[in-house]
Structure 1
Amino acid sequence: MNFASLDLNLLKVLDALLREGSTVRAGQRVGLSQPAVSSALGRLRHALGDPLFLREGNRLVPTDFATAIAPELAETLERMERFLSGPGFDPTTADTVFRLSGTDYFGVLLMPRLAERVSREAPGVQTILIDLVTEAYIDTIDKYGVDIALMPKVGDLPAGFHWRPFAWASFVFAARKDHPRLARAGVNPGETVPLDLFCDLSHVVMSPEGKTETLSDDVLARMGRARRTVMSMPYFAGIYLALEQSDLVALLPTKLAGHVAERHGLALYRPPIEVPPVLLAMVWKATATSNPAHRWLREVVFDELVWMNEGEPPLPRGVER
């Protein structure tokens, strides 16, 4: 037999014939007509040098050779099917290490929820959050083997990446409770801060890259105005701790501010400008999209993040093939 020239599809026909003992039923099993099965059987007889089946009435009786190879043929085809289906993923027994990247925003709002969910559903799984510099997220993904980057979706992604949005992040104005200048101006929590006061107060901004201007400054510039920024930090936690202990003020993501305000003695107000919300998304390498373990991770992370979009605009579609 010349194995190199053997059509491996014929082995599926042989397995069906061994199981069914009929060219008609074998054809139904593999999706071929009866004449096509008969033709395939002829090719198999020639290739293997054995009649394979003898007809007795309406039945096909396998030869000794066919009977001998039947168990191993069935096992081999099943093993090939499992192999070609790719590895499965059972979270209850997995000991996989997953790496996420993002700012401490996700350390506060995602990781505690993820800890409870993963410890319950996948006790052997390890989850690591890596700090992310937004402008170098591709380098971060490659350098640290990041499975999912959690980041603002700004502009088009390069080829080879997929993404799925999970929330719009709007912003509120935050300051410590009983902030003297806000109190003197008679501005109560929940009210809009006057624009002149907003611009004159000392602001702290969040920027992993150390920038002192953000989208809010672009909005002010279009109005012919500017605010006074005196500090920039790469972590939100540093910002709300600074607000708690000083007269600095900041624009914070609404969900984060609502989560930490009471604990850190902050009061929340409406900003006097329309701060454009930021679309937050999961980003990953397209090559991982069909991976069962990665698919499980994406669904779990999305489930624990999508609550952040409550009260925000509807989400657009991502690119997840």
Structure 2
Amino acid sequence: MISAKLYFLIAGIGGMNFATFDLNLLRVLDALFREGSTVKAAERLGLSQSAVSGALSRLRRALGDPLFVRHGNRLVTSDYAEALRIPLHEELQRLESLLSPPAAFDPETATGTFRIAASDFFAELLMPPLGDMLHQTAPGIRAQLVDLVPYNYVESLERRNADIALIPDTALPHWIRRMPLFHAPFRVIARSENPAIAGMAAGQTMPIDTFCALHHVLFSPEGNLAAMGDAALEHVGRRRQVAMTVPVFSGVCRAVSESDLIALVPAQLADKVAPDFNLRVFVPPVEIVPVLIIGIWHKRSDKTPLASWMRDRVFHLMKALETGSPA
């Protein structure tokens, strides 16, 4: 049974007769909300574009509202349609859960896609072992690593349609579950031929004068010019020089490997890529509190067999990155 809230929203215009309304049209409407085009909505639903366009015409007649107005190359929702967007999506998910009771899960025969929203740090540290594990135990399951939503990582679960997100620990809304995974201390990386580190042994603490004199590459998807390292330096009355920001860790490591720039990166990543990028790894000259990385997911998928199985495997791989003491 569809909720009373959605019933009154749908029936609130034009005196629509809900008893004769084709509920299959609601799936089309939800796909149009999510994709913003009849072509992409058709691809999502496995229908032809003409079928989706026809369904949209039927929706407009039944609801007595244009629902979408073309604006350039995209469809813009009417005010009435915008009021339907969230309750309609939630209602369809509730019905899907209601009509799909949990079944015995067999990874060897299971098929499906599991989407992970995370930085490219996890392209290096998670995806290789995860790919090998899936190949060996669940060949029909596809894993996808997608970008986090900038400025609001939690929204990655909705806007990226992600099953989990791997993010720094933060306050979370009530509909989110969390799992602590590992602490990421920081290390300084520099190319082996950088003249400023001549005579310095990998693994030692970089002198603070060297650290502050050299120019830095800063990882920042949002283009920020300061991070945790700068706050730590302020405590001892020092500053560093940020020469550039890069939105991906791979770009940070590449820039350091081909210049005399240095960077602060998570220790696990530094140890992983140092041989390939010909880098030396040093301890920072100031104490920087390690970041706690957590896995988050929507409560609605707590009992979903594939999602639950994949979460367990991903979290097991990630917990192995714990370096020991978080301090």
TM-score normalized with structure 2 length: 0.67
Q: Which of 155, 165, 171 is the equivalent residue of 2:186?
A: 171
Q: 1:250 aligns with which of 258, 263, 269?
A: 263
Match of 2:103 in 1: 87
Aligned positions of 1:51-130 closer than 5 A: 86-130=102-146
Question: Contact between 1:101 and 1:150, CA under 8 Å: does it hold in 2?
Answer: yes
What are the within-5 Å matches in structure 2 for residues 187-198 of structure 1?
187-198=200-211
Structure 1 CA distance for aligned equivalents of residues 149 and 240 of structure 2: 25
Q: Work out whether 1:234 is the aligned partner of 2:250.
A: no
**2:213 is equivalent to residue 200 of structure 1:** yes
Whole-angstrom distance in 2 between the partners of 1:311 and 1:159: 30
Q: Residue in 2 aligned with 1:160?
A: 175
Q: Does the aligned pair in 2 maintain the 1:98–1:147 contact within 8 Å?
A: yes
User: After the TM superposition, which of the residue ranges 191-200 and 265-274 deviates more from structure 2?
Assistant: 191-200
Q: What amino acid maps onto 1:152 in structure 2?
A: P
1:292 Cα deviation from its structure 2 partner: 2.0
Deviations 1:136-185 (Å, cap 9, x if unpaired)?
Answer: 2232211221000011113x2111000101110011111000311122xx
One-letter amino acid matched to 1:144: R
Q: Shift of residue 313 of structure 1?
A: 3.0
- Is residue 99–residue 146 contact of structure 1 (8 Å, CA) maintained in 2? yes
Find the counterpart in structure 2 of residue 299 from structure 1.
312
Residue 217 (structure 1) aligned to one of 192, 209, 230: 230
Identical counterparts, % of pairs? 37
Q: In the alignment, residue 138 of structure 2 is paired with which amino acid?
A: A
Given residue 104 of structure 2, which amino acid in structure 1 is its aligned partner? G
For 1:310 and 1:196, how far apart are their aligned partners in 2? Answer: 28
Can you list the C-alpha shifts for 1:52-104, whole angstroms capped at 9, x where unaligned? xxxxxxxxxxxxxxxxxxxxxxxxxxxxxxx8963332211111111111011
Change (3 A) 1:98 1:295: same
Q: Which of residues 134, 139, 158 is equivalent to 2:155?
A: 139
Distance (Å, rounded) in 1 between the aligned partners of 2:307 and 2:297: 9
Amino acid of the structure 1 residue aligned with 2:178 = W
AA in 1 matched with 2:186: F
Shift of 1:285: 0.5
> Gapped runs of 5+ residues in structure 1?
1-82, 315-321
- Cα distance, 1:135 vs structure 2: 2.6
Do the aligned partners of 1:147 and 1:294 also contact (CA within 8 Å) in 2? yes
Moved over 6 A (4+): none
